[in-house]
């Protein structure tokens, strides 16, 4: 009871700091006391911290951000981004969920998310554009968005003589259409599984209601970033694992020393419906590569669906955009070319030049995609467990906006840790 009281104090203090996020309508303190979550800000950036079982984390997420989730789902579906229209969503996207397999623990989290939304509202909630109440399938579909729509994205990583301290440094842009619902609504979610779960805690850059991994770092400094790729033809027509959930399983299980093997094992168990390039980085150690790109799709006869692209021999850098470089014939890409040339020039300086946070941000700015928007940019420092994150604001690409430093170790210290919150 004492532990729960302390958690309630932390949650209540955080809610007072973020009235623009907590939009509950008098749900009452007895329910709030059971919420395994808290809201805060770090240098103005909204942070949601959740802990416990999957259902407890989902419930906390839904309870603390319920109206925000309903508003985002309604506006996102109204935009036609998922299915082309609301009718397309109902008639085409929802039926496609039958071809997807979501792990029981993630299904429990999504059901907890819905329960939290309803508890905050005091009953079922209506999605205006759908003309009905929100259902589990709606939350599942939103979390499968990456399987039904396409995005851009660019990443790179360097280590060894490419950085001043020899540690890993990586940059990542998340490019997607400028859907109004997604602008100004991004959050940081700190995921703290139960100690007995065997899963690693991790920090996600995401939106309210999204429990998948598109960009994140775990407690051991391993990072996972999603990119689209064309993909080879699928060798089956059902039984797919939504890629965001596959990425999440990967980041929850990838240990620093065995990160690439751990990620490959997860991906080969999770058949994907679409093509992916997944940049994975880890803290730089002796005689081990610090980054690799996983080219991943549903064509199982080729490497069981996963081809790993490492840095070339003698190189301490790797770049990634939206085309395969090893699993299929490479396709020209201006962003990939710009990143590669800059990395090659730095490598050619023989240790006389280094990439820094500042130069990494400039590189990310140079490869922001025109016609859409870079929703978030991050510079990772895996050895230090640091993420430097920027969100797009006022219609500007994220790398041109304010970067906020997030200490992943502090964020994951436990439910009572303030972790730098204002």
73-104: pLDDT as tens digits: 999 999 999 999 999 999 999 999 999 999 99
In the prediction, which pLDDT does 45 show?
98
In this predicted structure, the answer to whether residue 290 has a pLDDT above a threshold of 70 is: yes
In the prediction, which pLDDT does 239 show?
94
pLDDT band with cut points at 50, 70 and 90 for residue 323: very high
What pTM does this model have? 0.90
For the ranges 151-155, 279-283, 293-297, which has the lowest average pLDDT? 151-155
pLDDT band with cut points at 50, 70 and 90 for residue 4: very low
In the prediction, which pLDDT does 11 show?
40
Q: Which sequence spans correspond to the domains of the chain? A: 2-143, 151-177+229-404
Q: Strand 386-391 to strand 373-381: parallel, antiparallel, or no bridges (unpaired)?
A: antiparallel
In the prediction, which pLDDT does 419 show?
36
* Pair 263, 280: CB distance under 8 Å: yes
Tell me how far CA of residue 275 lies from CA of 83, 230, 234, 341, 368, in angstroms: 19, 5, 9, 25, 21
Tell me how far CA of residue 300 lies from CA of 135, 309, 377, in angstroms: 33, 17, 32
* 115: phi then psi, degrees, rounded to nearest 5: -65, -40
In the prediction, which pLDDT does 9 show?
36
Average pLDDT on 273-290 reads 91
* Pair 17, 422: CB distance under 8 Å: yes
In this predicted structure, the answer to whether residue 408 has a pLDDT above a threshold of 60 is: yes
Reported as a single tens digit per residue, the pLDDT across 173-204 is 999 999 999 999 999 999 999 999 999 999 99
In the prediction, which pLDDT does 288 show?
79
In this predicted structure, the answer to whether residue 17 has a pLDDT above a threshold of 50 is: no
Average pLDDT on 209-224 reads 98
Please list the residues that pair with 144 across neighbouring strands: none
Higher pLDDT: 376 or 30? It is 376
In the prediction, which pLDDT does 355 show?
96
Give the chain's mean pLDDT: 90
In the prediction, which pLDDT does 285 show?
77
Class of CATH domain 151-177+229-404: alpha beta
Reported as a single tens digit per residue, the pLDDT across 100-111 is 999 999 999 999
In the prediction, which pLDDT does 421 show?
39
pLDDT band with cut points at 50, 70 and 90 for residue 415: low
In the prediction, which pLDDT does 34 show?
83
CATH code at 2-143: 1.10.439
């Amino acid at each position: 009871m004492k532990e729960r009281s302390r958690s309630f104090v932390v949650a209540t203090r955080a809610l007072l700091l973020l009235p623009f996020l907590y939009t509950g309508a008098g749900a009452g303190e007895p329910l709030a006391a059971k919420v395994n979550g808290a809201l805060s800000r770090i240098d103005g950036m909204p942070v949601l911290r959740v802990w416990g079982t999957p259902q407890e984390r989902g419930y906390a997420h839904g309870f603390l951000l319920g109206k925000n989730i309903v508003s985002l789902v309604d506006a996102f579906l109204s935009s036609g981004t998922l299915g082309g229209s609301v009718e397309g969503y109902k008639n085409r996207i929802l039926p496609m969920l039958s071809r997807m397999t979501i792990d029981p623990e993630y299904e429990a989290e999504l059901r907890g998310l819905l329960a939290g939304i309803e508890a905050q509202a005091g009953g079922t909630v209506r999605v205006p554009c759908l003309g009905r109440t929100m259902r589990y399938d709606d939350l599942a579909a939103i979390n499968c968005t990456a399987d039904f729509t396409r995005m851009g994205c660019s990443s790179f990583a360097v280590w060894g003589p490419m950085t001043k301290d020899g540690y890993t440094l990586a940059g990542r842009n998340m490019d997607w259409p400028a859907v109004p619902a997604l602008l100004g609504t991004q959050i940081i979610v700190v995921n703290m599984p139960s100690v007995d779960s065997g899963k690693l805690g991790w920090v996600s850059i995401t939106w309210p209601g999204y429990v998948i991994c598109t960009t994140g770092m775990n407690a051991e400094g391993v990072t996972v970033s999603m990119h689209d790729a064309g993909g080879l033809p699928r060798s089956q027509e059902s039984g797919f694992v939504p890629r965001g959930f596959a990425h999440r399983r990967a980041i929850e299980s990838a240990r620093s020393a065995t990160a690439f093997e751990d990620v490959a094992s997860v991906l080969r168990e999770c058949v994907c419906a679409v093509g992916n390039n997944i940049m994975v980085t880890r803290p730089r150690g002796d005689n081990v590569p610090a980054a690799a790109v996983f080219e991943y799709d549903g064509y199982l006869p080729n490497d069981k669906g996963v081809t790993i692209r490492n840095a070339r021999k003698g190189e301490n850098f790797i770049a990634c955009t939206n085309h395969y470089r090893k699993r299929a014939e490479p396709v020209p890409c201006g962003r990939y070319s710009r990143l590669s040339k800059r990395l090659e020039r730095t490598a050619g300086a023989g240790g006389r030049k280094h990439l820094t946070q500042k130069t990494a941000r400039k590189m990310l700015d140079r490869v922001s995609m025109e016609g859409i928007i870079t929703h978030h940019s991050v510079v990772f420092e895996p050895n230090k467990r640091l993420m430097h994150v920027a969100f797009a604001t006022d219609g500007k690409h994220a790398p041109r906006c304010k970067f906020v430093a997030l200490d992943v170790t502090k964020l994951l210290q436990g439910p009572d840790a303030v972790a730098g919150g204002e």
